[in-house]
């Protein structure tokens, strides 16, 4: 993304914020609806981000593993970087895939790519080993070998995107109970961090912002009082001047 485009986006965001600020003044019903709309949109974006990046677990039966030359275009953001040690900067890559069947006979396809040191932080460098493990766990419908596939990401056929498998392990059956300990720990720490940030913000607002706002209100109130006094003084002077002119008009 070029620097000019970044500045254009920043200018549009600032212009939009100023327009909404003057279009919906503080205290209006429109400002309240705008605030709640912004909060809901923020919660939806954060929820989608966490749902995409946090680990998920599927109990499936692996039916096939293969490599396929895949063209990565506009959907590049949903793909990882090329495997460590391979060529980069190409739009067509040799990507590993894992085909599987769920317990309800619905199909699911996973990609198998290294994540490296970039986001999301799974630090995965063993996609070749994972592909070998998945190939070893393939099974027919008559004698199923159920497997838990740990992955992140979404499957969207209309975008040609696939969840990225990060681990496979055999389990006894499709009814196995999986407790997402990693997700629980991450969400717990996020909740604690959010509460701490909110508490810090409230303390900062109470100690730094509210006194300034109160002082500004006092200054504005003092200015209003002085303005009223000045207007009253002007009216008094003007009234005395008119009364003096009236005395001249009454003289013969």
Tens digit of pLDDT for each residue in 159-200? Answer: 888 999 999 999 998 989 899 999 999 999 999 999 999 888
Average pLDDT of the chain, as a whole number: 80
pLDDT of residue 75: 64
Domain boundaries, the chain: 3-52, 56-177, 178-208
Tens digit of pLDDT for each residue in 89-143? Answer: 457 788 899 999 999 999 999 999 988 787 788 888 888 999 999 999 999 989 9
| Choice among 60-64, 102-106, 171-175, 205-209 with the minimum mean pLDDT | 205-209
- Taking residues 45-62, report their average pLDDT: 92
| DSSP labels, the chain | --HHHHHHHHHHHHHHHHHHHHHS-TTSHHHHHHHHHHHHHHHHHHHHHHHHHS-EEEEEEEEEEEEEEEE--TTGGGSPPPPTTS--S-SEEEEEEEEEEETTS-EEEEEE---TTSSS------HHHHHHHHHHT---SSS--EEEEEEES--BGGGTB-PEEEEEEE-S-TT-----HHHHHHHHHHHHHHHHHHHHHHHHIIIIIHHHHHHHHHHHHHHHHHHHHHHHHHHHHHHHHHHHHHHHHH--
* CATH number given to 56-177: 2.40.50
- Taking residues 61-81, report their average pLDDT: 80
pLDDT of residue 102: 94
- Taking residues 79-89, report their average pLDDT: 54
């Amino acid at each position: 993304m070029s620097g000019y485009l970044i500045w254009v986006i920043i200018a549009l965001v600032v212009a939009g914020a100023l327009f909404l600020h003057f279009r919906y003044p503080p205290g209006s019903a429109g400002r309240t609806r705008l605030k709640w709309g912004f909060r809901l949109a923020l919660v939806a974006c954060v929820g989608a981000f966490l749902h995409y990046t946090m680990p998920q677990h599927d109990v499936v039966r692996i039916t096939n593993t293969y490599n396929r030359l895949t063209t990565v275009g506009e959907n590049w953001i949903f793909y990882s970087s090329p495997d460590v040690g391979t060529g980069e900067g190409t739009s067509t890559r040799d990507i590993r895939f894992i085909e599987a069947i769920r317990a309800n006979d619905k199909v699911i396809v996973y990609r198998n790519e290294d994540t490296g040191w970039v986001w999301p932080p799974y630090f995965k460098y063993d996609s070749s080993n994972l592909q070998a493990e998945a190939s070893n766990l393939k099974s027919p419908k008559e004698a199923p070998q159920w497997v838990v596939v740990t992955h992140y990401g979404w499957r969207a056929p209309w975008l040609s995107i696939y969840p990225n498998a990060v681990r496979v392990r055999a389990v006894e059956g499709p009814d196995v109970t999986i407790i997402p300990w990693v997700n629980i720990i991450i969400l717990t720490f996020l909740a604690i961090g959010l509460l701490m940030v909110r508490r810090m913000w409230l303390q900062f607002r109470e100690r730094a912002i509210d006194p300034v706002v109160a002082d500004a209100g006092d200054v504005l109130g003092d200015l209003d009082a002085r303005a009223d006094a000045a207007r009253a003084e002007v009216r008094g002077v003007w009234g005395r001047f008119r009364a003096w002119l009236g005395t001249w008009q009454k003289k013969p």
